[in-house]
Structure 1
C-alpha cells in the first residue's frame, strides 16, 4: 500500500506544506540526519506530524472498534449516528477487508461527502416551472460601476463580473451621449461613461455562461426619444431572438412565465406606454405621458438641483414595445396595487421606503400585505443614492417579506454580498431560488414579526486548518484566530456568537466551543461562519468566511471551506465543526 504522504507529494501538497512558517520547527525535528532535506522515513514522519488532527483522533477512536480500524459496520454507525446519512452502500465502496484507516477517514471528512453544504443542492434541484415572482432573483444595482458612485470608473467588465456570479438582473443607467449614441454612467457625477451598445454586446456574450435562466435588463432611462429609438435598435439587433419582444403564447397570459420557459432569454424592465393586452386586441391606444426615471436615484446625488428633480422625458414607442413582462409602475400602496396593478407591472422601492413598508406591514395585527403583494407581483429594492461609497443594505429583511429583486452593489465585497452569495449558493448557483411555500401560497398567514417556536440548531466549532497569513511580507505574521457564528433570518432568529481567540496559531487552532441557536423559520435562515484575526488594540482583521442557507446544511461532523472577501475559495483552509439541527418538540 502506497503511504499517504507519497500520494500527497505527487500532487504537490508537501511543497505547499513546506512553505508554511509553522513547518520550520517540525522540519528541523524530523531532519535526524542533519542534511537540511527530508528523505524517505523522515518525510513520512514529517507528514504524520503536520497532518495530526487530535479532534479527529477522538472521533476515530470512538468508532474504530475493529482491531483499531474502522470496519464497514463501524463507518455505518458513524454515518447514521453523527452524519445522519443513509445513502452510503458501504459494501460496494469498501476495499478488501471492508475497513477504513484513519487516513482514509480524514480524506472522507475533507472531501465533498464531509462538507457542510449538501451536495444534493449543488445542481439545479428546485422546481423551475413556477412563475418568475415565486423566486428570489440575484440582482445588481449600478452594475456598470467598478468602484464608488461619484468618480469611479464605469466598465463593461463590471457586467461580466456580475453575470459570472450568476447575477440575473443587471441595471443600465442610460443617458444621451455624443454622436447620437446613448451612454451608460451614474448621472450628475464624475463616473466615466461607456457606450450602451458595448454593454449590450458584453451582456450577450456572458449572460448564460454560468446560468441558463433569464436575465432582466433594468433600464433607468434618461434619454431623448431619438436615442431611445437607437437603444431599442441595439437591443433588438444585438440580442436577436433571445430578446423577449412579445408574450410567449398566442393569448393574453394571466401570470408571469417561469424561468424554465425563459431559458436563454432577456427581459427588458422599463416604462411602457400601454397595457400588455393591447398586443392581443385592436386597441393600439397609447398613453402619451411624461416620465421620469423610476428610481430618481441619480438625482439623489444632486439634492439641491430642482431642475434635475423636475426633468421629464418622453418615451419612445420602439423602446416601450419591447417591455413585456417587467413594466415599471409607480408604487401607490398595497391596496392600490391589489386593485390596479397587473401581474406584469412591477415597482422599484428605495431601501428606506421598503424597510418602512416591511416594518409597518409586520406590526399590523394579522397583516401580511407586503408578502401577499409579492406573491403575484415582482418588486425591486435598490440602495439609497446617499450610499456614494457603493455600500449595501442588509438584503435579508427584504427576502423575509418575499421581495424577489433585492439589488446590491456587486462591486462591494462586504457582509451583505456574502449573504447574497450564501442565499444563491444552492440550486446550481443559477441566480434563482424558489421562495418557501408560505411566501407563495395565497392562503398563507406567515408574518416574519409573529412567529411560533421552531427547531434548535446546535453547533460546535471544533478546529481550523491552515489559515492564511494576513501579511505575507512579515516573516512571523501568525494570526490569533477566532470564529464568529451568525444566524441571519427573520428578526427572532438573528443571533451571533463568538469563540475565544487562539494565540499565534493559524495552522491548526482548536476551540471546542459549543453554541445553541433557537430557529423559528429555518426556510429563511442563513448560517454564516466568519474567521477573524484577533486584535486587542484595533478592529479584528478578516481572514475568511462561508455562508449558506440553513436548509442546505448537513448534520454531523463537517468541513467548512473558507472564502476570501471576493468570494474565492482559500486553498487548504477550513473549519471543522459539529452541526445538529433538532426539532424542539
Structure 2
C-alpha cells in the first residue's frame, strides 16, 4: 500500500526533495544557518536538522503548509535581498499563526525543484478523497511506529503505537487483534496486515448500530433504506431520494455495492465522516446571503492593531500580520500612523517598544492581498497621529498604490441617503478616518468630528485608562475651548462612506447624524450602552456603522467577548487576530459561513430602524420563536494527545456552550472517560433552549479532564446555530490555532425542535 501513489513519488521535483538538500534557513539579516532538509518516504513529512545538532531534528507536514512564495516575498528575505538573489529564495507559509519558513538554496534549479515539489504535494494533499486521507493517516502511523524501518511491526512496536495513538488497550485484547491480523504467523505485521489490524481497532460499534437499524440484511443499505435513513434521521425530506444516489456514487468504495445501488458499512462510515456528513450545513459554507443591502446591515470581520504579530507593548509590527488577517477573511484592518523620522509615515503602536513598518509598504500589502480570500470591500481604519505634511504623503501613497481600488468618491457622485452594499463595493478599499467638514485645515471637536481611539477611551473610560497618551495637538483653538488637530485636505478628501465622528448619544444621532458618519466605542462603553439602552443601540446600528475596539488595559493583546457587541448589531467588532482563544473561535465561527467572505447579514429584526428588539428581552419582538436544541454526544475519534510524555493518555470530556443573548448563555458537559483519546464513547445527551437562535453560536469543546488542575484544551468547533445540520453528524475538531486536526472528530446526534 502506497497512499500517495507512484505518480507523485516518481515526479522529478519530489525526487530532489526526497534526496535532500542543504538549505539556508533565514530568520533575520544576522541569523542565516544551514540546515539539511529532505522529504520522508511517506511523501508528506519534511524533516530537517543542523549538521551540528547531534540527534536533534525537526519535522512538519506538507498539510501544514498553505502556500509557497517565490523570491523575496517576505520581510525577512527582502532584508537579505542584496546578499541572496530572488531566484534562490522561497518562503513556506503555514496555516494558522505559525511563522513563515524563509529558505535559500545553493542554485536556482534547486529552488525551482523545491517550489514546484512542495506545491505538487500541497495539491495532492488537498485533493485526496476521504478514503485516501484515512489511508494516508494509517500509513503515517505505520511509518512512525516502525522504529527499525524494516517495513514490519512486531507486537512491541504495535504496543508503542497504541500509546502514541492515545489508546490504553488491554494487552490481552491487543495481542488477540495482532494475532488475527498476522495471517502469515510471522510475529510481525506488514503494511497490508497493519491496515487490517487498524480496521479491527477502529471498528465503530456506534456507527454499526445505526447502520443495522436501516439495513434489513445487516450487510448493506439498499437505495430505499438509505433514503429512509436520510429522511428520518438526517431530516432531508423530499431531497433524500436524489441525495441517496449521489452519496453512493461519491462514498461507496465497493464496485459491486455501487452496481446494486447499495451502500456498505464502509461507505456509510466514510459518508458520515465527510464534510457532507458534518454538523455544518454545506450550503451555508457557500456564499448564499443577500449581499445587496446597506453596509450597516452586515456583521464585518474586523481586526484591531492589525500590524502586530504579538502583544502591543513589545510585539513586532509586521506586514505578515496584515497578510494573515486578510487571508482569514478580515474585511476591516487598522493602521496606526505616526510621523517617521525620515519624512515617511510609519505604522506601529505609539509610545511603546513595538517595531515600525512603513505606511507605504502596508498599502502595497493591502493592494496585493485585500481580495484574495474575498472580493467584498475592505475598510482601512486609520488611527492618524501624523502632521499635515506626512498626512499628504499618506494620501499620495493611497492614491498612487491603490489606484482605482481605492474608493475616493461616492458611487453615483451624490451624498448618499443610505450606505451602499457590499455587492456595489466589490473590489474596493474604503478609508475610515476624520474628514474636514468646513474649508480650512483646522478641525476642532465639533459634533461631526471624532477624537482618536486613545482620546475617546480616556473620555469614556475613567475606569479603563488608555495605555497611550493622546497625540499632541497640532494647532490651538482660538476660542480656547479644546485643542484641535490639523488635517490634510488631500487625506480628508479620500474619506467617503466611513467618516469618523464623535458619538454624542442616540438622540443626537437620530436628529443629526448622516448615514456615512460612524463612531468608535471602547469595549467598556459599548457594554454600558448595550446594557442601558440595548434597543436604541440596535436601532442606531440599523442606520450607522459602529466600530468596537479592545480596552486600554489589554496590553497583552487579549480579546473581549465579541458576542455581546453583535447582540446589539455592532458591525465592526475589532479583535486581536494574532491572539488565539475563545474570542477568536467565536469570530471564526460567525464568519465561517457565507463563503468566508467576511460579511454576514444581520437578522431581519436588527436591520429595521424602528425595531423593538433588545438583547435583554429577546421575546419582545416580531417573529419570536424559541427552539430546543438536543445534542446526544455519542463518541470521539482519534483525539490528539495534549501531553507528549510517553504513556500519557487523555481523559476526554465534551462541553457544549451556547453564546448569544444573555438568556441563551449556557454550557453543559459530559462526564470524562478515563485513558481513551482514541475511541471514547459517552452516549450522553445535553439539552438547551435558545431564545434568539438567529444570533446564537454553538461551541463544541473537548478537554482533557484533570481533577488537580485546570483541564487541558484538546480541540473545538464553533458554528452559528442557524448552520447546524440535524441528525447523525461528525464534528471535525480544530486546534487552538483554528486549524484542522484530522481525523479528530466527535460523533453526535442533533435534534432541533420548536418549544411547545
Give how far 1:36 is off.
Answer: 4.9
Could you tell me whether the CA contact under 8 Å between 2:292 and 2:421 is conserved in 1?
Answer: yes
1:558-573 paired onto structure 2 within 5 Å: 558-573=729-744
How far apart, in 2, do the equivalents of 1:139 and 1:207 lie? Answer: 13
Choose the corresponding residue for 1:446, options 591, 603, 613. Answer: 613
CA separation of 1:99 and 1:306: change in aligned 2, threshold 3 A: closer
How far apart, in 1, do the equivalents of 2:525 and 2:134 lie? Answer: 58
How far apart, in 2, do the equivalents of 1:552 and 1:327 lie? Answer: 34
Name the structure 2 match of 1:192: 355
Choose the corresponding residue for 1:207, options 370, 375, 378. Answer: 370
Higher RCO (Cα < 8 Å, 6 or more apart): 1
- Structure 1 gaps of 5+ residues are 1-5, 275-283, 363-367
How far apart, in 2, do the equivalents of 1:505 and 1:227 lie? Answer: 61
How far apart, in 1, do the equivalents of 2:372 and 2:507 lie? Answer: 40
CA separation of 1:499 and 1:118: change in aligned 2, threshold 3 A: same
Name the structure 2 match of 1:16: 140
> Would you say 1:322 and 2:494 are equivalent positions?
yes
- Structure 2 gaps of 5+ residues are 1-129, 145-160, 249-257, 459-464, 475-481, 620-624
1:385-424 paired onto structure 2 within 5 Å: 385-424=552-591
Choose the corresponding residue for 1:80, options 220, 231, 244. Answer: 231
How far apart, in 1, do the equivalents of 2:677 and 2:608 lie? Answer: 48
How far apart, in 1, do the equivalents of 2:133 and 2:564 lie? Answer: 48
Could you tell me whether the CA contact under 8 Å between 1:115 and 1:560 is conserved in 2?
Answer: yes
Name the structure 1 match of 2:443: 289
* Cα shift readout 1:193-239 (whole Å, capped 9, x = no counterpart): 11111111111111111100000000000000001001111111111
Give how far 1:9 is off.
Answer: 9.3
Name the structure 1 match of 2:592: 425
Deviates more, 1:70-79 or 1:522-531: 70-79
CA separation of 1:7 and 1:131: change in aligned 2, threshold 3 A: closer
Name the structure 1 match of 2:650: 479
Deviates more, 1:537-546 or 1:67-76: 67-76
Secondary structure of the structure 2 residue equivalent to 1:522: coil
Name the structure 1 match of 2:156: none
How far apart, in 1, do the equivalents of 2:706 and 2:611 lie? Answer: 47
Give how far 1:287 is off.
Answer: 7.1
Give how far 1:184 is off.
Answer: 0.8
Give how far 1:308 is off.
Answer: 8.7
How far apart, in 1, do the equivalents of 2:334 and 2:214 lie? Answer: 54
Could you tell me whether the CA contact under 8 Å between 1:327 and 1:345 is conserved in 2?
Answer: yes
How far apart, in 2, do the equivalents of 1:9 and 1:219 lie? Answer: 45
Could you tell me whether the CA contact under 8 Å between 2:351 and 2:469 is conserved in 1?
Answer: no
How far apart, in 2, do the equivalents of 1:192 and 1:10 lie? Answer: 44
Could you tell me whether the CA contact under 8 Å between 2:326 and 2:369 is conserved in 1?
Answer: yes
Give how far 1:14 is off.
Answer: 2.4
Name the structure 2 match of 1:552: 723
Secondary structure of the structure 2 residue equivalent to 1:112: coil
How far apart, in 1, do the equivalents of 2:336 and 2:133 lie? Answer: 53
How far apart, in 2, do the equivalents of 1:267 and 1:9 lie? Answer: 42
Residues paired across the two proteins, number: 565
Give the TM-score, by structure 1 length: 0.92
Name the structure 1 match of 2:671: 500
Name the structure 2 match of 1:49: 200
Choose the corresponding residue for 2:401, options 218, 235, 238. Answer: 238
CA separation of 1:318 and 1:476: change in aligned 2, threshold 3 A: same
* Cα shift readout 1:354-386 (whole Å, capped 9, x = no counterpart): 000000014xxxxx2110000010000000111
Give the TM-score, by structure 2 length: 0.72
Give how far 1:39 is off.
Answer: 4.5
Secondary structure of the structure 1 residue equivalent to 2:700: strand
How far apart, in 1, do the equivalents of 2:471 and 2:376 lie? Answer: 41
Give how far 1:444 is off.
Answer: 2.5
CA separation of 1:260 and 1:222: change in aligned 2, threshold 3 A: same
How far apart, in 2, do the equivalents of 1:152 and 1:337 lie? Answer: 38
> Would you say 1:538 and 2:709 are equivalent positions?
yes
Name the structure 2 match of 1:280: none
Secondary structure of the structure 1 residue equivalent to 2:188: coil
How far apart, in 2, do the equivalents of 1:512 and 1:355 lie? Answer: 39
Secondary structure of the structure 1 residue equivalent to 2:533: helix
Root mean square deviation, CA, Å: 2.3
1:95-110 paired onto structure 2 within 5 Å: 95-110=258-273
Deviates more, 1:251-260 or 1:348-357: 251-260
> Would you say 1:511 and 2:682 are equivalent positions?
yes
CA separation of 1:551 and 1:529: change in aligned 2, threshold 3 A: same
CA separation of 1:293 and 1:189: change in aligned 2, threshold 3 A: farther
How far apart, in 2, do the equivalents of 1:285 and 1:71 lie? Answer: 78
How far apart, in 2, do the equivalents of 1:304 and 1:250 lie? Answer: 39
